[in-house]
A and B are shown apart, each in its own frame.
Chain A
Amino acid sequence: MRVALPVWQGRVSPVFDVAGQLLVVDLQGNQEADRQVDSFEGLNIARRADRLAEMGVETVICGAVSRALALHIQGHGIALFTCVCGTVDDVLRAFQHKTLTSQRFAMPGCCGRQRRRCRGG
């Protein structure tokens, strides 16, 4: 499974719409097989979603995201965890252990929202 997280200073980037870097992690079962960083600098929201699809990303874990970008991402059939905060390693570990919906990883003011796992397409 290919998972992507916008990252900034070792944490999940607060706003995906303007995040400059994307960490792409390949998971095989609960093991991390590969990780790479891609630049998202200067991309508008439509291009961000297109790029995720081009990279074969299946799940995105991010912080705040505008409705418009969320719709673009879901339009590509990509699963989306929003309003997530925390260090990259903690968040990835929680995702692998299916504990990402814990209140610990919820951005302030987003408690109900981040628990929803959305998938479009």
Chain B
Amino acid sequence: MDIPSDKKTQEIILDSIADGVFTVDTQWHVTSFNRAAEQITGVPREEAIGRPCCEVFRASICETACALRQTLDTGRPIVNQAIYILNAQGDRIPISISTGVFRDQQGNIVGGVETFRDLSVVEQLRHELEARFTFADIIGHSPRMQDLFDILPQVAVSDSTVLLEGASGTGKELVARAIHDLSRRHDQPFVAVNCGALPDTLLESELFGYKAGAFTDARVDKPGRFAIADQGTIFLDEIGDVSPAMQSRLLRVLQQRTFEPLGTNQPVSVDIRVIAATNKSLQELVNRGEFREDLFYRIHIVRLTIPALRDRREDIPLLIDHFITRFSRLRQKDVIGVSEEALAHLMEYDYPGNVRELENIIEHGFVLCHSGLIQLEHLPPNVRGSDRSQWITAPQATTLENMERLLIIDALRRHQGNRKEAAKQLGIHASTLFRKARALGIELPATDGRSHKE
């Protein structure tokens, strides 16, 4: 029986591996190339051996950030880095690579090895998952967003008035548009009005329109937004900001679906669906007598709450991917993602401006980053500042006591002084938080914070 030579044995072992494997000498010439490498790259072994690895492998990082070069320079391996290569047919193949170093008996580097795995199937699955996590341009795979996606089609077909609650930048208008697009009115107008942006007199003429001669500059008839939205949907954003007088007029439209343009007593009938939105608690405004109770109940038929981004942090990577793809197309740049360090900061940040703020942060990154990964230094200073590792390296954070102090202060800040919520975040009872705060000399806010909780 023939016993295979060492080289032959190595070749058999390498060919039995499902991952692509190739080795190089110190001059970057390919010295071995297994069967999986042939299949993934489309390059036959006999053509690959002895050629510069960049001409065989054709990876997105060959010129700028060769993984093998980094490993040979530093002696440190790279594990599972995601890149793409161009195969012999010019197709982009997503792969993950890992590297290692060969040393002789004296410890001198004599070459390197790179293994790579075809991620085409994984990428395909990822795209299918992305489709599941996207609903009419709204993105999220968090349970709260998935719940919203589940209920939206039923809400849309119901034709009921909808109240959307959520902080600024959470995407209330996107949800309103999704409801309109899924409704029977989808081929009719969708008209959005920001009620908080206009003074009463302007809002009145904007919503109801006017007849020529209604006031000095009214030379011709102007249809209002309600008339324009006839048969379709009107989206009344920031409805909590309208004055009591305007609330009365809106109530009449909602009750009777009729209104009178300025300068006429002739009522106009409209068939519209109303979607209202607010970043305030309308219930609290009603309790304080600042919002009409009858109007509240007219619009509070179906209420949907859109969670703040900090309450669905698991959606942040998905949203980052979405914005990067969009800005890459718009700005014509080859930015492929964010670095691990940048992502860690983006995951930590509080996002008072919600998804809109995240979008702005990524756009800021695109201004400073020309290609490759958005790094920490490409992010705005306020995002870079939210660094827990900075606390750890800070001189005052060297003791357990100081760490406790910093964590408590941060938790209180995150929850606007709400001790109960801060304690919940820290996993301790509110009375323990109070006791610890007193022992550590932390001045608790004069107000508890519950009164202005969103």
Contacts and interface: CB of A to CB of B under 8 A. Distances in A.
Taking each of B42, B58, B62, B334, which has the highest tally of chain A beta carbons within 10 Å of its own beta carbon? B58
A41 B332 contact: no
Nearest to A107: B55
A15 B60 contact: yes
B397 interface: no
Contacts of B371: 18, 41-42
A94 B91 CA distance: 27
Interface of B: 41-44, 47-48, 51-52, 54-64, 86, 88-92, 328-329, 332-335, 370-371
Given A47-B332, A109-B44, A15 B59 contact: yes
A79 interface: no
Contacts of B41: 109
B51 A14 contact: no
Contacts of A65: 86, 90
Interface residues of A, number: 29
B42 A109 contact: yes
Cβ-closest 8 pairs across A and B = A42-B370, A109-B43, A42-B371, A109-B88, A108-B47, A47-B332, A64-B58, A14-B54
A117 interface: no
A93 interface: no
A46 B62 CA distance: 21
23 contacts: A14-B52, A14-B55, A14-B57, A14-B58, A17-B60, A17-B86, A18-B61, A18-B62, A18-B64, A18-B334, A42-B334, A42-B370, A43-B334, A63-B55, A66-B86, A67-B89, A70-B90, A85-B55, A107-B55, A108-B44, A108-B48, A108-B56, A109-B42
Grouping DSSP codes into helix (H, G, I), strand (E, B) and loop, the A interface class, with mixed when no group exceeds half, is loop
Given A15-B60, A70-B90, A107-B55, 10 more contacts: A14-B55, A18-B371, A19-B63, A41-B370, A42-B334, A43-B332, A66-B90, A66-B92, A107-B58, A109-B41
A77 interface: no
B212 to A, nearest CB: 50
B42 A8 contact: no
B328 A44 contact: yes
A27 interface: no
A35 interface: no
Nearest to A69: B90
B226 to A, nearest CB: 43
A104 interface: no
A109 B371 CA distance: 28
